[in-house]
Structure 1
Amino acid sequence: MTAASPDTAFDRRLVPPMILGAVLNPINSSMVAVALVPIGIAFGAPPAETAWLVSGLYLATAIGQPVVGRLVDTFGPRRLFLTGTALVGAAGVLGALSPQLWVLVLARVLLGFGTCAGYPAAMYLIRAEATRTGANSPAGILTLLSVATQTISVVGPTLGGLLIGLGGWRGVFAVNVPLAAVAFGLGARRLPRTPRTGPVPSLDHAGIALFAVTLVALLLFLMEPARWWLLPVAVAAGAGFARRELTAADPFLDLRVFGGNRPLPATYGRTLLTYVVSYAFLYGYTQWLEEGRGLSASVAGLMLLPMSVTAVAVSALTGRRAAVRGKLVVGALAQVVACAALLAFGAGTPLWMVVGLAIVIGIPQGVVSLANQNALYHQADPGRIGASAGLLRTFGYLGAIVASVGNGVFLADRADTPGLHHLALFLLVVAVVFLAVTLADRSLRSVAGKD
């Protein structure tokens, strides 16, 4: 077989900064899962307060991803990537030296904004390289990105547990300093400069502001439904946002595209549903392992290691298969099985069952996010791939917020076994809905081939 020439092969020098930049967000999303209990003990804070360490990053990321993605589409990935990784390093220092809980929350918010550039920049570069080389479906690179961004999240609890075992909870913040330094160096050396031709494009500042108000109000309402007045604020801001984007000459998010591209909103909806289940496992189930099952943070992290191994293996084995429908169906079925299995867990559950459940839940971790990412790559407008990729992450974090709300409702005072069972019933409903909407979506058969 003849090797590809440099002009027709993906530029492999881009892969390290792409992957490292993209994993900064998911690893910070999940690594803190095993640190919530130790941080609460250190500052004398109840779960309702330490939950802001999760929600703060969610809020910043849900708002920042599509905004930064649009900036990547407009100005190119390099400057956004470098600015973001520098902010990640600063947030790591702030968190590692934090004297109070609210400073930790601020550090998590900075981490959320700082990690927003990695994934949109990677999708932008993949699309740009596909255009340059003529490779319409770079399945290998997309698979590698999915393995890095989606399955790395399940490595987070294990890594967090190891860091806590070595030097305490501050390690989950301090580790961002060397990661950011390496990412910044790679980005400065390898990411291409985007030549500026003509005047600087204008940004839809009004659309961005209305989008931010809508999401902040909605997410704060979801996190604390007692603040009912936030819901009408979200609805009003959302209506203003929709009107603005439908009439603007160069909108931040072109909602008119969605009207003629119904499969893309369906991909966003599936992403929301699957993140509800996956993040409830990462946070609620992990807390139950520590408080309900009585495992240490380090051991709880190790119990989730089979999940990451399974996810990586499944992604690697299925990544080059272009069609997405079969992956989504298998992943949905695995989620249903895993959620149902939680109903049988208790304080005396043997460790082999804990490991077995980790393997089962690793299957959707490996195939569902990969399938949704590939669907988006083929469904999105190439000229707005950064914003579309960022919006995919926004819907993922909407799902994560719903998971956080579920954890707060069912594990309010302590992550005990009755609370876990109530959480499992809620997740089982979500998993069944995900399976149903996947089976009903006929457009999936035409995405990147047929099953």
Structure 2
Amino acid sequence: MPKISGLARSDRPSRPRPADSFDRRLIAPMVLGSVLNPINSAMIAVALVPIGAALGAPPAQTAWLVTGLYLATAVGQPVIGRLVDTYGPRRLYLIGTALVGIAGLLGALAPSFGALVAARVLLGVGTSAAYPASMSLTRSEAERTGRDSPAGVLTALAVSAQTVSVVGPTLGGLLIGVGGWRTIFLVNVPLSGACLVLGVLRLPKSPGGRRERRSVDPLGMALFAGLLAALMFFLMKPRADHWWLLALAVGAATAFALREVRVTEPFIDLRVLGGNIPMLATFLRQFLSFTTAYAFLYGFTQWLEEGRELSAATAGLVLLPLSLSALAVSAVTGRHEAIRGKLVVGSLVQIAGCAALLGANSGSAIWLLGAVGIVMGIPQGLNGLANQNALYRQADPARMGSAAGLLRTFMYLGAMVASAADAAVFPHGADTGGLHDLALFMLAGATLLLAVTLLDRSLRTPAPPTPRKA
């Protein structure tokens, strides 16, 4: 048999592989690419204070480092997901991961706070490609093998993203302790390089050989981007004199809806989406789950550094138990769908964790704060995986990339609302009173998540995905 190492998978059609077996060579680039966004989302949590001190930026200003990435991601995920549906996952994966390396280098060399925000925006765009590409590849492999739900692969994607989200602060704290806050940007350069090598060697050029080219609807994409941008700028500073931002968001939403229902190939088919109530409920649960999760991640971390007066490295270590509990829960429950059960348990534990946070103060023992992290790690390991599995069954397979992108959009909408909430409760620094106000906000979100889950009857017997006419 001729030697084939170093060749792209698409160049090796004769390589033996069981017809009903998922191509495991795809897993490494899928997982590594998909964690680029959550790791950059999480590492910044412990860097906000040192960046603010170094560049003279108050907490309300450093919040743009969070929001800039999330705004770019919220727009980029469904846009790039649609491009994945149209042009295939390999090309978009490679372009996106290359942008990650460029953004990491720009952030490491940024001379000003504005340049740093620009690097974070570019990171958001670049990291938007891998997840919809991975979900599209998963669906293509499921169709090729005839297996309804490759639970192990979906679990690997969810577990890696969720675990990295909570490991990120610990990793970020260690990197900052070793080389300063610029290292959390520089680490993207080798990560990007690894993704590019794996992508070139392992991702197929035309999965399944049946991809249909479609219009990408650039006007619809632009209106969608304008809608999200106006809404998020308002959420950053929700004041009465910023009413015009809400008016702009409503206008963009109206124009977007009118556009999408009239064109043959819409960016987001609102007629199909509006008739898919279970998928809309999944998007809402994703939003609620991650509003609470990210409010805790950013708010609690800032309070550990300012209210509890811990160093960035120590604050990252305090959050390590959260990482471990999320990993353990995901590993134990990952291969069993149990979508409704996971969401019920996850929301109940979120409620318990938020209630426990109301008792935290500047004198709380480190072990007690770590225990709160353990509790909050449990829903991290349940909710994201459950919503991803629900979407996999609810979405039109032909639009899996854009549907997966929208799922991530709602995740980052939650993150942006969480960031706005953190800025609102910590206007002059992360004190204990603000932490308790944040806990009440999180408690309301977790309670609403439980209610939405209990009211959704479709979760009892999720149907397998069926194609819908575009």
Give the SS at the match of 2:460. Answer: helix
Match of 2:458 among 420, 431, 443: 443
- CA 1:167 to 1:323, structure 2 compared with 1: closer, same or farther past 3 Å? same
- CA 1:338 to 1:243, structure 2 compared with 1: closer, same or farther past 3 Å? same
**Equivalent position of 1:418 in the other structure:** 433
Deviations 1:373-422 (A, max 9, x none): 00000000000000000000111111111101110110111101011011
Deviations 1:97-121 (A, max 9, x none): 1111111101000000000001001
Q: What is the CA–CA distance in structure 2 between the aligned matches of 1:201 and 1:359, rounded to whole Å?
A: 46
Match of 1:123 among 107, 130, 135: 135
Q: What is the CA–CA distance in structure 2 between the aligned matches of 1:113 and 1:203, rounded to whole Å?
A: 17
Asked if 1 retains the 8 angstrom alpha-carbon contact of 2:46 and 2:169, the reply is yes
Aligned ranges 1:66-145 → 2 under 5 Å: 66-145=78-157
Percent of aligned positions with the same letter in both sequences?
A: 63
- CA 1:200 to 1:273, structure 2 compared with 1: closer, same or farther past 3 Å? closer
Q: CA deviation at 1:323?
A: 2.3
Asked if 2 retains the 8 angstrom alpha-carbon contact of 1:323 and 1:448, the reply is no
Asked if 1 retains the 8 angstrom alpha-carbon contact of 2:235 and 2:420, the reply is yes
**Equivalent position of 2:398 in the other structure:** 383
1:31 paired with 2:46, answer no
2:191 aligned partner, one-letter code? L
**Equivalent position of 1:43 in the other structure:** 55
Q: How much is the aligned-residue C-alpha RMSD, in angstroms?
A: 1.5
Asked if 2 retains the 8 angstrom alpha-carbon contact of 1:26 and 1:153, the reply is yes
**Equivalent position of 1:206 in the other structure:** 219
2:97 aligned partner, one-letter code? T
- When normalised by structure 2's length, the TM-score is 0.93
Match of 1:271 among 283, 286, 290: 286
- CA 1:5 to 1:99, structure 2 compared with 1: closer, same or farther past 3 Å? closer
Q: What is the CA–CA distance in structure 1 between the aligned matches of 2:243 and 2:273, rounded to whole Å?
A: 29
Aligned ranges 1:163-312 → 2 under 5 Å: 163-194=175-206, 201-226=214-239, 227-312=242-327
Deviations 1:137-188 (A, max 9, x none): 1111111110011221001100000000100000100000000000011001
Q: What is the CA–CA distance in structure 2 between the aligned matches of 1:138 and 1:59, rounded to whole Å?
A: 31
**Equivalent position of 1:161 in the other structure:** 173
Structure 2's unaligned 5+ residue stretches are 1-15, 465-470
Q: What is the CA–CA distance in structure 2 between the aligned matches of 1:380 and 1:200, rounded to whole Å?
A: 19
Give the SS at the match of 1:228. Answer: helix
Match of 1:314 among 304, 329, 345: 329
Q: What is the CA–CA distance in structure 2 between the aligned matches of 1:343 and 1:150, rounded to whole Å?
A: 25
Asked if 2 retains the 8 angstrom alpha-carbon contact of 1:324 and 1:448, the reply is no
2:57 aligned partner, one-letter code? A
Q: CA deviation at 1:447?
A: 1.6
Asked if 2 retains the 8 angstrom alpha-carbon contact of 1:274 and 1:431, the reply is yes
**Equivalent position of 1:327 in the other structure:** 342
Q: What is the CA–CA distance in structure 2 between the aligned matches of 1:199 and 1:71, rounded to whole Å?
A: 12
2:194 aligned partner, one-letter code? V
Q: What is the CA–CA distance in structure 2 between the aligned matches of 1:197 and 1:376, rounded to whole Å?
A: 23
Asked if 2 retains the 8 angstrom alpha-carbon contact of 1:91 and 1:107, the reply is yes
Match of 1:336 among 351, 360, 365: 351
Give the SS at the match of 2:47. Answer: helix
1:102 aligned partner, one-letter code? G
Asked if 1 retains the 8 angstrom alpha-carbon contact of 2:394 and 2:463, the reply is no
- CA 1:410 to 1:16, structure 2 compared with 1: closer, same or farther past 3 Å? same
Q: CA deviation at 1:355?
A: 1.1
- When normalised by structure 1's length, the TM-score is 0.97
Aligned ranges 1:357-436 → 2 under 5 Å: 357-436=372-451
Match of 2:64 among 39, 52, 56: 52
- CA 1:96 to 1:5, structure 2 compared with 1: closer, same or farther past 3 Å? closer
Aligned ranges 1:6-21 → 2 under 5 Å: 6-21=18-33
Asked if 2 retains the 8 angstrom alpha-carbon contact of 1:322 and 1:448, the reply is no
